[in-house]
Structure 1
Amino acid sequence: MLKTLQALFFPDDRGKETAVETRVDAAVAILLMEVARADFDVADDELEVIRRTLVDDFAMARDEADELVRHAAAEVDDSTGFFPFVRVLNEQLGSDQKRQVVETLWRVAYADAGKHHLEESVIRQIADLLYVPHSDFIRARLRAEESVPPD
């Protein structure tokens, strides 16, 4: 409802907001932030994985990535679920790209010294909504786990 009111009073901002909500990079950032927040503790290492993903995978400048991370955090605060963001990915990504998203979700979960069961639950829900087969879900977890540097 707030977005509808903003669109009525600030029509110039409406197109910009809609564009962000339908962008793959924004949807990925929001889902990554969902995983980072799942255990109620967002670690700097998790935020760094999210930023690095945006810079490396979406050819984004560091300051743009920082802005999108802030947007993702605010969106997660206001979000009522994953579906709007998953829908963007289902509409715009192929199977291989969706598997890569799931692996990146796992990388966020492992960034802060190991996955939490709540993070795993969120990743499982997102993977199911992305129609990623369970075997690919497991392989993505193993690849992410293997990429964690030893302490």
Structure 2
Amino acid sequence: MPSALKQLASKLFSTPAEQDKEQAGLDDVQLAAAVLMVEVARADFSEDAVERRAVEAELRSAFGLDEGQVARLMQAASRRADEAVSLHRFVATINDSLSYADKLDVLTQLWRVAYADGELDKHEEHLMRRFSDMLHIPHRDWIQRKLSVAPE
């Protein structure tokens, strides 16, 4: 099948989220991490500017992205989080792609987002515990990472 025809078929039969990913040139791991961060920011039922800036800062720092790339990633992650029935596929992407040390780094980034507004909501902590379990991170490492970013 000619290349142009393949591209047309791909666009016709792909979901809007898949099209966003292709257009923005997003990496699966970046998108998965961003979706989890967006979910943590939303867990306390108030998505404020402080938490949004924290997510953006973590994405810039972790992946070396510029402002435009971060904006596209945030838009795609927010859309994916809105559409997601389950977060398991995002966690599976991280589990399949990252080493244990890298997964600990993701957990630390998630904790920074959870504490961005200066307090830890019970819903944020519950979600962090679920993510830690799904990432196969033992409780001692979960606590260690939590304490490393918690305000004094």
Length-normalised TM-score, structure 1: 0.83
Determine the structure 2 residue equivalent to 1:28: 33
Aligned twin of 1:3:
none
Q: Whole-Å Cα distance in 1 between the matches of residues 71 and 118 of structure 2? A: 23
Determine which of 103, 119, 132 is the counterpart of 1:114: 119
Q: Is the 8 A contact 1:45 1:112 kept in 2?
A: yes
Flag the 1:56–1:8 CA change in 2: closer, same or farther, 3 A.
closer
Unaligned runs of 5+ in 1: 1-5
Shift of 1:27: 0.5
Gaps of 5+ in 2: 1-8
1:16 to 2:56 alignment: no
Matching residue's letter, 1:47: R
Given the two structures, how large is their TM-score scaled by the length of structure 2? 0.83
Name segments (4+ residues, structure 1) moved above 6 Å.
Answer: none
Partner of 2:6: none
Question: How many angstroms apart in 1 are the aligned matches of 2:109 and 2:11?
Answer: 37
The structure-2 alpha-carbon separation of the partners of 1:74 and 1:13, relative to structure 1 and needing over 3 Å to count, comes to closer
Q: Which of 22, 43, 46 pairs up with 2:48?
A: 43
1:138 counterpart = 2:143: yes
Q: 1:8 to 1:71 in 2, by over 3 A?
A: closer
Question: Does the 8 Å CA contact 2:40/2:114 hold for their aligned counterparts?
Answer: yes
Check 1:37–1:94 CA distance in 2 against 1; reply closer, same or farther (3 A cut). Answer: same
Greater C-alpha radius of gyration: 2
Q: Is the 8 A contact 1:7 1:14 kept in 2?
A: no
Once residues 107 and 66 of structure 2 are traced to their aligned partners in structure 1, the CA distance between those partners, rounded to angstroms, is 23
- Matched position secondary structure for 1:99: helix
Give percent identity, aligned residues only: 30
